[in-house]
């Protein structure tokens, strides 16, 4: 889970008009996919988020996310694609069933979107592992929208897309034979490719195999996972524009930790001069397969974020563009082709600051970001915390955020930015009880 976080006075008349258009009084229900869900104290799904549920950008074969999704699906052409999985899940499904500890930070309402105490928007595609394994699928792929509260900048958006893939083997001699054959096939393919792999041992004391697993089988599964994903990295990155065709593709394996896999790894790829984090993966915890009632089996799984990879492959500079309906964006892409995006224009940025004393209960950066996103929609380009201090005598804390309002497809007038910013300020006062400085 990405954990990084960093950050006037105008016409009363315009303000009143805007306020009647969208006010912050909280309705008792939230509407998602045509259904009403009762809200309670923990509800934090804003209308900006609710509007995105069901858009399914990755299903459009001519959208960059759809093109990438199709490319990965065709690499894993003999895997079954899972569909019909709702983004609305229980916290048990998203966290508990996968062994997340009770105090895991991802569970906090500051990090995840809760519809109410009992339901949330999935934060990752792994939320569906148990139900898909229960379908007795032996090799499967799943693409979906996922939701996380986060900062606002060019590479973070509270809705993004992931693909999850898994392969299950029988935990016996037949599984061992299948793994040995597949590992030989993949090694042969990779030996002929222009690729340099920086590996880590499959299993170490810090990244152990599971007690339930025969060590030889566990090694074979980890090796199969690595070979399979190295081959996917070739499909995605080898010979792409901007990469020197003579240079080998560099892939780096790193030990990692996920509550639902062990051993676990992260994969990075060196592309256009930088190491890029591509995915997380590992050998599935036996608890997951037990919950799914799949006996005598061992499995690997991986999960990757589509936006991050698509931004690199298509040279898309701002994550908001994926949601653009502007033909100048959409018409640039063709199904089945990775092409370089040509920016059509850069509109001027409009920076507005707001400084305030925090209420006693505090105010999380993500609460501020969601408030801005809800009022400004995709007109907000980034939010930066530019100052934060605690008064030594009164012990009161103050923050100053700089909001950059900038449209992706038109020139935003200063008046319009002011009107939105004024609304941000009044909502801050009404909803969070801050004192503007």
Interacting residue ranges for ligand PHE, rule: CB under 6 A: 124, 126, 164, 258, 261, 280-282, 301-303
Distance, in Å, from the CA atom of 13 to the CA atom of 5, rounded to the nearest integer, reads 36
Q: CB of 275: closest distance to ligand PHE in angstroms?
A: 17
**Alpha-helical segments (H) within 95-195:** 129-134, 173-191
**By C-beta, is 230 or 261 nearer to ligand PHE?**
261
Gyration radius of the chain over CA positions? 24
Q: CB of 147: closest distance to ligand PHE in angstroms?
A: 12
Give φ, ψ of 182 to 5 degrees: -70, -35
**By C-beta, is 126 or 423 nearer to ligand PHE?**
126
Distance, in Å, from the CA atom of 277 to the CA atom of 308, rounded to the nearest integer, reads 9
Distance, in Å, from the CA atom of 142 to the CA atom of 386, rounded to the nearest integer, reads 40
CB 65 within 8 A of CB 306: yes
Q: CB of 408: closest distance to ligand PHE in angstroms?
A: 27
Distance, in Å, from the CA atom of 231 to the CA atom of 105, rounded to the nearest integer, reads 33
Distance, in Å, from the CA atom of 376 to the CA atom of 379, rounded to the nearest integer, reads 5
**By C-beta, is 266 or 367 nearer to ligand PHE?**
266
Give φ, ψ of 294 to 5 degrees: -105, 105
Q: CB of 127: closest distance to ligand PHE in angstroms?
A: 8
Q: What distances in angstroms separate CA 161 from CA 12, 104, 200, 377, 409, one per listed residue?
A: 40, 22, 28, 19, 23
DSSP letter assigned to residue 322? G
**By C-beta, is 71 or 279 nearer to ligand PHE?**
279
CB 349 within 8 A of CB 404: yes
**By C-beta, is 110 or 116 nearer to ligand PHE?**
110
**By C-beta, is 279 or 363 nearer to ligand PHE?**
279
**By C-beta, is 72 or 383 nearer to ligand PHE?**
72
Q: CB of 171: closest distance to ligand PHE in angstroms?
A: 19
DSSP letter assigned to residue 144? E
Distance, in Å, from the CA atom of 109 to the CA atom of 169, rounded to the nearest integer, reads 37
Q: Which stretch of DSSP H or E encloses residue 355? A: strand 350-357
Q: CB of 14: closest distance to ligand PHE in angstroms?
A: 42
Q: CB of 279: closest distance to ligand PHE in angstroms?
A: 7
Q: CB of 97: closest distance to ligand PHE in angstroms?
A: 13
**By C-beta, is 95 or 356 nearer to ligand PHE?**
95
Q: CA angle, 406 as apex, 376 and 413 as ends, to 5°?
A: 90
């Amino acid at each position: 889970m990405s954990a990084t976080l960093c950050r006037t006075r105008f016409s009363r008349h315009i303000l009143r008009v805007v306020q009647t258009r969208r006010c912050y009084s909280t309705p008792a229900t939230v509407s998602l996919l045509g259904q009403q869900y009762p809200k309670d104290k923990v509800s934090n799904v804003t209308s900006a988020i609710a509007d995105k549920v069901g858009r399914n950008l990755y299903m459009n074969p001519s959208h960059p996310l759809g093109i990438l999704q199709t490319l990965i699906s065709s690499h894993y052409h003999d895997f079954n694609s899972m569909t019909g999985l709702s983004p609305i899940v229980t916290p048990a499904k998203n966290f508990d069933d996968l062994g997340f500890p009770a105090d895991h930070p991802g569970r906090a309402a500051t990090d995840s979107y809760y519809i109410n105490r009992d339901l949330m928007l999935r934060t990752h595609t792994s939320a569906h592992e148990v139900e898909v394994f229960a379908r007795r699928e032996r090799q499967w792929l799943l693409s979906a929208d996922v939701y996380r509260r986060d900062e606002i900048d060019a590479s973070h958006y509270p809705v993004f897309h992931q693909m999850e893939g898994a392969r299950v083997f029988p935990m016996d001699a037949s599984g061992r034979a299948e793994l040995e054959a597949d590992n030989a096939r993949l090694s042969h393919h990779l030996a002929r490719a222009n690729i340099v792999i920086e590996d880590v041992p499959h299993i170490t004391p810090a990244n152990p195999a599971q007690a339930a697993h025969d060590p030889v089988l566990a090694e074979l599964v980890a090796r199969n996972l690595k070979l399979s994903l190295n081959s996917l990295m070739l499909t995605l990155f080898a010979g792409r524009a901007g990469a020197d065709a003579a240079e080998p593709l560099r892939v780096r394996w790193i030990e990692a930790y996920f509550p639902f896999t062990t051993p676990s790894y992260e994969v990075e790829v060196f592309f256009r001069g930088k190491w890029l984090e591509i995915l997380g993966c590992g050998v599935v915890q036996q608890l997951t397969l037990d919950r799914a009632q799949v006996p005598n089996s061992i499995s690997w799984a991986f999960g990757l974020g589509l936006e991050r990879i698509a931004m690199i492959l298509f040279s898309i500079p701002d994550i908001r563009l994926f949601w653009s309906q502007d033909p100048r964006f959409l018409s640039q892409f063709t199904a089945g082709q990775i092409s370089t995006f040509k920016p059509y224009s850069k509109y001027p940025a409009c920076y507005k600051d707001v400084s305030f004393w925090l209420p006693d209960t505090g105010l999380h950066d993500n609460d501020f970001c969601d408030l801005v996103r809800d009022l400004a929609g995709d007109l907000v380009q980034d939010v930066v915390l530019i100052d934060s201090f605690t008064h030594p005598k009164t012990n009161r804390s103050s923050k100053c955020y700089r909001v950059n309002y900038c449209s992706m497809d038109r020139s935003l007038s200063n008046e319009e930015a002011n009107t939105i910013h004024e609304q941000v300020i009044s909502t801050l006062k009404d909803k969070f009880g801050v004192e503007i400085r």
